[in-house]
Amino acid sequence: MANTAAFGEIGLVPLRQSTFNPSHRPFFSLSFHNTAISSSPKLTAALSFTQSQGFGFASKEQKRTDLVQTSAVRELRGSLLSAQGHRFAIVVSRFNDLITKKLLEGALDTFKSYSVREENIDVVWVPGSFEIGVVAQQLGKSQKYQSILCIGAVIKGDTSHYDAVVNATTSGVLSAGLNSGTPCIFGVLTCDTLEQAFNRAGGKSGNKGAEAALTSIEMASLFEHHLKPLE
């Protein structure tokens, strides 16, 4: 028989683990909500673990025990001001290079304005956006770069080929990042018309290549300074 009464109605929800670095103090918040839980050896162990960590818990049947005030929540984020020593790769599609060259120009201008040295940027040209993923993954696995920026422009034609290319490119860039552990940034335009593409490559809607470069800088910093696995 579940001795729910022994624990009352508690949900232990670790709301935030403050850091991936084991040497830092893990931080957990406890939240209480009306979820009937049945006790089990695992749960008992979990509760005893949390108790041994200086957490207590209160329930209808138990008086408050040693609930320790934990430290303030810490937030981790990458910085745009620490790009100097980082290395970046840019994978750019030659297909629709009338557009992709402008996206690349915007990205390079952004890297320069955030003090990324030219010798720390490698640009790799591929035939089309479909080829970006596999190249990004290889570059990511090389561990030579803190971030890989992927630039392309997929523009709708008369057939459903557009959907195939967009879907493949999107999952290719996502998989490259997940498989390599190096941030791969999606700077690929997916447009219905050439005009939409021009507007996003330095026109009235800005330059998506420049925007993606900012993301690349931030993610490089986040990974390098906060998420790098301990050697």
Ligand X SMILES: Nc1c(NC[C@H](O)[C@H](O)[C@H](O)CO)[nH]c(=O)[nH]c1=O
Residue closer to ligand X (CB basis): 27 or 95: 95
Tell whether residue 170 is a contact of ligand X (CB under 6 A): no
Closest listed residue to residue 128, CA positions, set 90, 88, 96, 89: 96
The site map against ligand LTPLIIQW for 178-207 (x = CB under 6 A) is ------------------------------
Q: Are 117 and 221 in contact (CB under 8 A)?
A: no
Distance set, CA 131 to CA 10, 123, 212 (Å): 50, 14, 19
Q: What is the rounded distance in angstroms from the CA atom of residue 25 to the CA atom of residue 17?
A: 9
To ligand LTPLIIQW, the closest distance from the beta carbon of 15 in angstroms equals: 43
86 counts as catalytic: no
CB of 171 to ligand X, least distance (A): 13
Q: Which residues contact 48 (CB under 8 A, 6 or more apart)?
A: none
Give CA–CA dist 107/209, Å, rounded: 5
Question: Are 162 and 196 contacting, i.e. CB atoms less than 8 angstroms apart?
Answer: no
Q: Which does 108 bind (CB under 5 to 8 A by kind): ligand X, ligand LTPLIIQW, none?
A: none
- Closest C-alpha among 183, 173, 169 to residue 215: 183
Could you say which of 12, 126, 150, 165 contacts ligand LTPLIIQW (CB under 6 A)? Answer: 165
**Residues 125-144 interacting with ligand X (rule: CB under 6 A):** 127-131
SS3 104: helix
Among positions 80-109, residues that touch ligand LTPLIIQW (CB under 6 A) are none
Of 33, 161, 225, 226, which one is the catalytic site residue? 161
Nearer to ligand LTPLIIQW, 96 or 147 (CB): 96
- Sign of the dihedral defined by the CA atoms of residues 52, 53, 59, 65, in that order: positive
For ligand LTPLIIQW, the binding residues in 145-164 under the rule CB under 6 A are 154-155, 157-159, 161-162
**Binding positions for ligand X, rule: CB under 6 A:** 93, 95-96, 127-131, 152-155, 165
- Applying CB under 6 A, which residues contact ligand LTPLIIQW? 154-155, 157-159, 161-162, 165
Which are the catalytic amino acids? Answer: 161
